[in-house]
């Protein structure tokens, strides 16, 4: 027991250190986790004998629940809505097209049996959200045309489709008839969607109406909801991953209390689950088996990366008149990851006999994908002119408060401002507020008491932060054509009591509004709805 705890601690510390090292050398951190698992495995330096596919499949499936749930929870629907149709086509028809093309290639070029080739295509059909966004966030890259949101929704929602396709093909290879396959598809979708919707609605009502006496119990409650969202539909024959993702989206985009706390909590949980999955799958693999599948795996990886994925993307996005550089980047960002290997362990555990070592072929393709596509993704993004320098891939519904005790406020002095012409020692500042810097004609000045304020100066004030998040509830609203406040001054907009627009994001710039500020189409409004209204 003690030895096991020591090993777990060493592995977690090792994964964290690998994260720092991989970030410095430009290699995706998830590849480092896999390699660390291989290092500890039966063919590695530490020779840990582990070949229990059933145990690994169960543990990784549980970890995938949290990754799928938080993938939905972190999806910002306001930003994803414009690209939702494209994302859903990629996550459904895209998976089917990719799996079908890989199956045809495996059958006619590599000599696979039809069902076995299609099964390999299904195992490789989904893209990996964790891999894509660990790269985008580590490089702080946002992408043009809503591509980051498109990839987020696609990679978060295509695992259920790939899982369902894998289950169907395993059923067919195990002797399941046409009737059982049809009923399987129906039950997977029906119970997955029904359970997800019902669980989410009930959970939202509990979180809004029930006040937890102990801090942190709301996070424990949401953990239970995530597990329930997978387990209940699975018992009924539904798609648990689809349900978990749906519950995550509905909770993450609802107005529930303490959302920031939940985001930080699940950030940590999901990071730990990613370490667990990739390390465990690396531990489960046998590096000595990779040379035997290297030729087949390389051909499949090259076909998947340079033909199957681009063809599927072109067929689905061209009707939407998506730009060529966007299609090329979406094709390149189709990384294969943990879900593919987890589904491959399902194939091993199912007992279905296959001629080829599908697990290690999939493992090889995932290594190829993360190493080549993942490493070059930032470079390809810049080469295709797809990086949005004004955007922020970190921006979510919780990104407005920092952890410092001091906040800084920037003010630009107009000619009519009452402070212009006065020395700083004569200014009447609020208590606990300090003028810390003046920016004048591009130069930074450290102010003294006799420093005079000039028109055009940008002054920076410091003040103590306000951290009572119970009474500050920020949310975002994107202004669309036809909205009641579009092209109107804020002072003429009838806002509910206790509601205030505290910031406007327009063309990459932040605006602190007043009553004369005109709201325009495309503006992102940051709104504070106070917990209590004083009248």
Per-residue pLDDT reduced to its tens digit, 172-202: 887 765 557 788 888 998 999 999 999 999 9
**Structural domain of 424:** 402-466
pLDDT of 437 reads: 85
Higher-pLDDT residue of 152 and 207 is 207
**Is the pLDDT score of 466 beyond 70?**
no
In this structure, the number of other CB atoms found within 10 A of the CB of residue 351 comes to 8
Helix (H), strand (E) counts: the chain: 18, 8
- Domain end residue (candidates: 411, 438, 466): 466
Q: Is residue 43 part of a domain?
A: no
pLDDT of 198 reads: 95
16-25, 228-237, 441-450: range with highest mean pLDDT = 228-237
- Both 99 and 136 in one domain: the answer is yes
**Is the pLDDT score of 9 beyond 70?**
yes
- Both 122 and 103 in one domain: the answer is yes
Give residue 394's pLDDT band: very low, low, confident or very high (50, 70, 90).
Answer: low
- Both 137 and 27 in one domain: the answer is yes
Helix (H) / strand (E) containing 527: strand 524-529
- Domain end residue (candidates: 383, 413, 441): 383
**Is the pLDDT score of 13 beyond 60?**
yes
**Is the pLDDT score of 282 beyond 80?**
yes
pLDDT of 531 reads: 46
- Both 350 and 456 in one domain: the answer is no
Q: Is residue 45 part of a domain?
A: no
- Both 456 and 474 in one domain: the answer is no
- Both 285 and 431 in one domain: the answer is no
Judged by DSSP in three states, 501 sits in strand
Average pLDDT score over residue span 498-502: 79
- Both 442 and 495 in one domain: the answer is no
Q: Is residue 392 part of a domain?
A: no
Higher-pLDDT residue of 439 and 397 is 439
Average pLDDT score over residue span 53-67: 88
Answer whether 203's CB lies under 8 Å from 243's CB: no
- Domain end residue (candidates: 446, 466, 486): 466
Give residue 28's pLDDT band: very low, low, confident or very high (50, 70, 90).
Answer: low
Domain with residue 458: its CATH number is: 3.30.70.1450
Give residue 171's pLDDT band: very low, low, confident or very high (50, 70, 90).
Answer: confident
Q: Is residue 115 part of a domain?
A: yes
Q: How many domains does the chain have?
A: 3
Average pLDDT score over residue span 155-159: 84
Distance of CA 110 to the CA centre of its chain: 35
- Both 451 and 357 in one domain: the answer is no
What torsion do the CA atoms of 33, 284, 64, 210 make, to the nearest 10 degrees?
-90
- Both 231 and 133 in one domain: the answer is yes
**Is the pLDDT score of 400 beyond 50?**
no
- Both 16 and 158 in one domain: the answer is yes
Higher-pLDDT residue of 133 and 255 is 255
Q: How many residues does the chain have?
A: 535
Task: Give the CA angle between residues 15, 19, 22 to the nearest 5°.
Answer: 125
Strand segments (E) across 358-457 = 406-412, 433-440, 443-445
Judged by DSSP in three states, 93 sits in helix
Average pLDDT score over residue span 39-57: 79
Neighbour order of strands in the sheet with 499-506: 474-478, 524-529, 499-506, 509-511
Q: Is residue 473 part of a domain?
A: yes
Average pLDDT score over residue span 245-262: 85
Residue 137 to residue 119: CA distance in whole angstroms: 32
What torsion do the CA atoms of 139, 143, 147, 153 make, to the nearest 10 degrees?
30
Mean pLDDT, the chain, rounded, equals: 83
Q: Which residue matches tokens 């979708």?
A: 189
Higher-pLDDT residue of 479 and 190 is 190
């Amino acid at each position: 027991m003690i030895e096991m705890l020591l090993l777990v601690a060493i592995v977690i510390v090792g994964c964290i250190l690998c994260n720092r090292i991989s970030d410095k050398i430009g290699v995706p951190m998830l590849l480092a986790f896999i390699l660390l698992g291989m290092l500890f495995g039966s063919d590695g330096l530490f020779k840990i004998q582990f070949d229990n596919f059933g145990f690994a499949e169960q543990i990784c499936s549980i970890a995938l629940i949290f990754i799928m749930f938080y993938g939905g929870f972190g999806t910002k629907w306001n930003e994803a809505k414009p690209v939702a149709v494209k994302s859903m086509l990629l996550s459904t028809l895209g998976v089917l097209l990719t799996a079908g093309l890989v199956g045809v290639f495996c059958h006619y070029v590599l000599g696979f049996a039809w069902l076995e080739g299609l099964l390999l295509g299904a195992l490789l059909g989904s893209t990996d959200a964790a891999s894509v966004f660990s790269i985008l966030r580590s490089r702080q890259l946002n992408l043009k045309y809503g591509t980051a949101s498109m990839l987020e929704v696609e990679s978060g929602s295509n695992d259920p489709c790939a899982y369902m396709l894998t289950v169907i093909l395993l059923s067919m290879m195990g002797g399941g008839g046409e009737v059982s396959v049809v009923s399987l598809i129906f039950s997977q979708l029906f119970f997955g969607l029904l359970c997800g919707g019902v669980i989410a609605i009930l959970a939202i009502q509990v979180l809004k109406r029930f006040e937890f006496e102990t801090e942190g119990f709301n996070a424990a409650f949401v953990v239970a909801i995530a597990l329930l969202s997978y387990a209940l539909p699975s018992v009924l024959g539904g798609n648990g991953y689809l349900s978990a993702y749906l519950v995550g989206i509905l909770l993450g985009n609802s107005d529930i209390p303490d959302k920031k706390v939940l985001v930080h909590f699940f950030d940590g949980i999901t990071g730990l689950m990613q370490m667990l999955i990739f390390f465990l799958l690396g531990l489960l693999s046998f590096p000595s088996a990779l040379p035997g599948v290297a030729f087949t795996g390389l051909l499949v990886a090259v076909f998947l990366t340079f033909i199957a994925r681009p063809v599927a993307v072109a067929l689905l996005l061209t009707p939407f008149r998506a730009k060529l550089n966007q299609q090329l980047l979406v094709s390149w960002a189709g990384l294969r990851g943990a879900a593919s290997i987890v589904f491959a362990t399902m194939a091993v555990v199912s007992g279905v006999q296959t001629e080829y070592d599908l697990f290690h072929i999939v493992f090889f393709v995932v290594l190829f994908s993360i190493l080549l596509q993942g490493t070059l993704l930032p470079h390809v993004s810049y080469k295709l002119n797809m990086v949005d320098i004004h955007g922020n891939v970190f921006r979510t519904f919780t990104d407005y408060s920092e952890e410092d005790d001091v906040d800084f406020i920037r003010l630009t002095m107009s000619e009519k401002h009452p402070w212009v012409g006065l020395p700083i020692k004569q200014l009447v500042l609020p208590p606990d507020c300090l003028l810390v810097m003046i920016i004048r004609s591009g130069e930074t000045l450290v102010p003294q008491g006799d420093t005079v304020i000039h028109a055009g100066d940008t002054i920076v004030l410091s003040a103590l932060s306000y951290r009572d998040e119970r009474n500050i509830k920020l949310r975002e609203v994107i202004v669309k054509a036809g909205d009641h406040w579009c092209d109107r001054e804020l002072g003429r907009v009838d806002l509910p009591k206790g509601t205030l627009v505290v910031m406007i994001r327009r063309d990459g710039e932040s605006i602190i509004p007043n009553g004369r500020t005109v709201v325009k189409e495309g503006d992102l409004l940051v709104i504070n709805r106070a917990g209590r209204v004083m009248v």
